[in-house]
Amino acid sequence: MERCLKDYFGYSSFRPFQKEVIQQILRGRDCLVVMATGSGKSICYQIPPLVSSKTAVVISPLISLMQDQVMGLKLRGIKAEYLGSAQTDKTVEDKAGRGEYDILYMTPEKACGTTWTSLLSRGVSLLAVDEAHCISEWGHDFRPEYQRLSSIRSKLPEVPFVALTATATHKVREDILKSLMLTNAYIAVSSFDRPNILYGVKPLTRSNAFREELATEVVKDLEQGGSTIVYCNTIKDVDEVTNALVKAGAAARAYHSKLGLKERNDVHRTFLKDELQVVVATVAFGMGIDKPDIRRVIHYGCPKSLESYYQESGRCGRDGLPSACWLYFTRADFTRAEFYTSEVRTQERKKAVADAFAASQGYCTTTTCRRKFILQYFGELTKNDNCGNCDNCTKTAAQRRDMVQEAYAILAAVKLCGGFWGMNMPIDVLRGSLAKKVVERGYEKLHVHGLGRERTATWWKALGDQLLSLGYLRETREKFRTVSVSPKGQRFLEELPNGASLVLPVTEEMLREEKSSAPDAATASTPGPTLNGLPEVEMKLFKALIDLRADIADKSSTAPYMICNERTLQRITNTRPSNIVRLRNVEGINQWLVTEYGEAFLECVKRICQETGLEQDKESIVQKAAASRTSDRSMLTPAKSEAWSMWHEKKMSFFEIANLPERPRPIKEDTVIEYILECLRAGCEADWSRFFDATGMTTCIREQIRAAIGKVGSREKMKPLKENLPETVSYAHIKIYLLAEELGVDLGLSPNVDTQDRNVEVIDLDEEPRNESIDRPPWLDIRTKTSTKPRRLDVEELANGECKKMRTAESRQATDEGIMEWLLSRDGATLKEISSRFSDTDASAILTLLKGLEESFSIYEKDVHDRKSPLRSKRSDDIKITTTWQCSPILFSEMSAARSTNETGPELETRPSSATDVSSTRMTVNSTSLSGSDT
């Protein structure tokens, strides 16, 4: 054995396990060899035929792999060949039958179709199954043809079978033993560790700029010698990365399945001969590549499985010298789960593929030792938590931070969402989403809603992953992925972390997200008031708000930062809102806070402003867009210019402009908004804050549109944007947003959005609740405003017309316009209905507004006689009389023009025909109406 090792391979000693395995084979015993990549498994089956002078048959999954091996063996003076469809030399089969080869490679198909008689008569030293994990459905590279190999076991009863693999979990090992019917096998399992390899993970952005940067780094590394393989998941990625590398000056070529065989062979050959420095490949490249000086293996995208990652990274540093494996990923890669599972048929295989992909994702996001993560995955126990040679183990203290507040927020969000969602739902809630799925379940009323706006969804996911790996959260993956708070997380929540700390690593991904949100996001987790730059009088207000927050926190049994952070208080201090709508528009103020404590905040602001003489409603987002643009108002029609001057200079409402008495007939308010938009585009001045208020463009809606743009990846077409937005966001909202953005208006949004990663959002596994019927926990109710019944916005009830929708959809504060628009959209309403629609306004205040409208003949009261009502009144004629408020006929006719005749025609006939008629049918609304009775 030693002589063969020296004579043919030039090595003077065996590596661990090689000798033992060879001895067992020579004794005729089956073997299972599970050894690390590059550990020298091939020697185990290459020496026995040289010692025993009997052919070794080796089953291998890839022709290219066989060709390589054969070529290498021939160079060493070993008689080797392969049999398979690619073999053009017809004499090989005969020669094989005559036992002329020391080593004969075969594809599994060929092995199953061989008669073996003549070969056996010459003697077969062993049958090796290389890459034996392909036999198992739980293996990452399952090949059905490998499973048929068991059929040759009976044809070769005396021949020892040797299964070899570098990537086999316990489950896969069991499968191999069973499938190949290896009895009393000698099992050699070496460590999976490759100590000379540095493992690291970095965030990826699929952009030209990123690729250029990556290419520059690769080229710099190439100057140190050695070669590089870059693995990509798609051919598109391969092409893009190759182009970037070539542009940066590297001798790089692409390798993927769409290239012809000749070209692929050429790439392979030139790479081995060092004529190429870099190969950029899909996974098709690399199995069996035994180039010793590959110094870097880069993964551009999250690999399909941790096994394939280990295999591919195993091409690196096979000479034992220091080498590095960097994996670049974006969470968009995680959405490929369905794609991978759809490639396979059986349920068992689907689960195996999903699990292997989940492990790969886990590797990407772990903040603990990456080497340990890999070793543990393959069942290797290691006590060492710090390998000292991966990015996580070499992190300095400066790359860690106390994230107790953020951890608390995300755990609370997971808990409050019931623990039966993946990470997306709680993160959406934290970020203040008003998507249908959030509102339908009433999650917008949770006190954590909107608390985490200042961080991107990706940032929160990164933190969620950390909390998962640290055991604060736990995950189940059945049909869907669900995340819930573990007992450890529950303890953390219960022992309110006042003064406690939770120092966690700030991952590269988090850092990148934070960088994109600089400058102010960096202060988000800084405890203590951020008073920098506040004048003394404003400090008074700020401090009063801090005290108010402390009171609220006390009442809600929670920590002050869970109510809102100091930056939000600073924004209130800056803007000093005088009403609920303005308060709600303050970044960081959520619906729960508005509903529960909005009045308290307003009262506090008002009091301090009165005491100190501070002006209220200081606009923070008033823009003079015109200043930066060349005004082109000459292009505007008189109608548009007039609309703008009425709105901007005379401060008239859209409604007033649309219904000017001097107009021959009213125009639609939507049209007025369109006019004004055009004027703004042409460079007219604007108070954008007022415009946003008047059009219902809340911060939430602006955030949602921004997220949708990120998700769609383009601003070009409005339809896909609309499709990615909740119903409450209209086309008009999108138009306004796009124009504001184009004009460089400060949209008052949290500054940290990476459009790249907003694409990511959905892992479909993550989206559906495991069980819709799960009851919401009782403590959830305590934190919601009223009932568990989700509050639906009344958009559906509104009249046609996007602008009407948007101004009334959100606000529950009654205003003249709001009431008018709402009434226009329906066939009258009782005071009770109006009160419940505008639930944020006191009923008596609504009544005052109604009376004002009535006096201006905009609305009138009408009796509705209902003989069928089961609620009989005590009146002698036994008729129920309900008071409803209707729009005046002139307004109604405008509405009816906008609606289809079918919808409104018959109703029109029942209405009074003039204002005189209206007054004659008017009834007084008495106090019983206010308290709920309409009769």
Ligand X SMILES: Nc1ncnc2c1ncn2[C@@H]1O[C@H](COP(=O)(O)OP(=O)(O)OP(=O)(O)O)[C@@H](O)[C@H]1O
Interacting residues toward ligand X by CB under 6 A: 11, 14-15, 18, 35, 37-43, 166, 288, 290, 292, 314, 318
Q: How far is the CB of 197 from ligand X (least distance, A)?
A: 12
R_g over Cα of the chain: 36
Least separation in angstroms between residue 374's CB and ligand X is 14
- Identity of the residue, 3 or 258, whose beta carbon is nearer to ligand X in the bound complex: 3
Host H or E run for residue 485: strand 481-485
Q: Are 586 and 564 in contact (CB under 8 A)?
A: no
When CB distances to ligand X are compared, the closest residue is 40
CB 11 → ligand X: shortest distance, Å? 4
Our CB check for ligand X shows the closer of 17 and 443 to be 17
Give the integer Cα–Cα distance in Å for 880 and 873. Answer: 6
| Least CB distance to ligand X at residue 371 (A) | 17
Tokens 């459009």 belong to residue: 755
Where are the alpha helices (H) located in 556-590, listed in sequence order? 560-563, 566-575, 580-584
The contacts of residue 99 (CB under 8 Å, 6+ apart) are 54, 55, 119, 122, 123
Of 71 and 762, nearer to ligand X (C-beta) is: 71
Rounded to an integer, what distance in angstroms lies between the CA atom of residue 120 and that of residue 122?
A: 5
Omega within 30 of 0 (cis) for the link into 203: no
Residue 678's alpha-carbon distances to 197, 625, 627, 735, in angstroms, are 61, 13, 16, 11
In the complex, the smallest distance separating the C-beta of residue 735 from ligand X, rounded to whole angstroms, is 57
As a whole number of angstroms, the distance between CA 885 and CA 813 comes to 18
User: Whole-number minimum distance, CB 119 to ligand X, in Å?
Assistant: 24
Nearer to ligand X, 38 or 748 (CB): 38
Nearer to ligand X by Cβ, of 14 and 675: the residue is 14
For residue 227, which amino acid is it? S
Q: How far is the CB of 35 from ligand X (least distance, A)?
A: 6
Our CB check for ligand X shows the closer of 292 and 905 to be 292
Q: What's the min distance (Å) between Cβ of 286 and ligand X?
A: 9
Please say which residue, 104 or 780, places its beta carbon nearer to ligand X: 104
Q: How far is the CB of 12 from ligand X (least distance, A)?
A: 8
Can you tell me which residue has the tokens 């022992």? 495
Distance separating alpha carbons of residues 660 and 638, to the nearest angstrom: 15
Tokens of 333: 């890669």
Residue (65 or 524) nearer to ligand X, CB: 65
**Shortest Cβ 590–ligand X spacing (Å):** 53
Phi, psi (deg, nearest 5) at residue 499: 80, -15
Q: Among 147, 145, 182, which residue's Cα sits nearest to residue 163?
A: 182
Q: Is 28 left (phi over 0), alpha (psi -120 to 50) or beta?
A: left
Least Å from the CB of residue 38 to ligand X: 5
H or E segment at 64? Answer: helix 63-75
Closer to ligand X at the Cβ: 125 or 659? 125
Element of type H or E holding 467: helix 457-469
Query: Of 271 and 838, which CB lies nearer to ligand X in the complex structure?
Result: 271
Helices and strands (H, E) in the chain, number of each type: 46, 20
Residue 15 or 776 having the CB closest to ligand X: 15
Return all residues near 460 (Cβ < 8 A) that are at least 6 apart: 406, 410, 423, 427, 430, 431, 452
Q: How far is the CB of 167 from ligand X (least distance, A)?
A: 8
Q: Please, which residue, 37 or 835, has the CB nearer to ligand X?
A: 37
Q: Is residue 207 a contact partner of residue 171, using CB atoms and an 8 Å limit?
A: no
CB of 13 to ligand X, least distance (A): 6
* Integer Cα distance of 423 and 480 in angstroms: 11
165 or 591, CB closer to ligand X?
165
Give the integer Cα–Cα distance in Å for 324 and 391: 11
User: Which residues make Cβ contacts (< 8 Å) with residue 7, sequence separation at least 6?
Assistant: none
Distance CA 829, CA 862 (A): 10
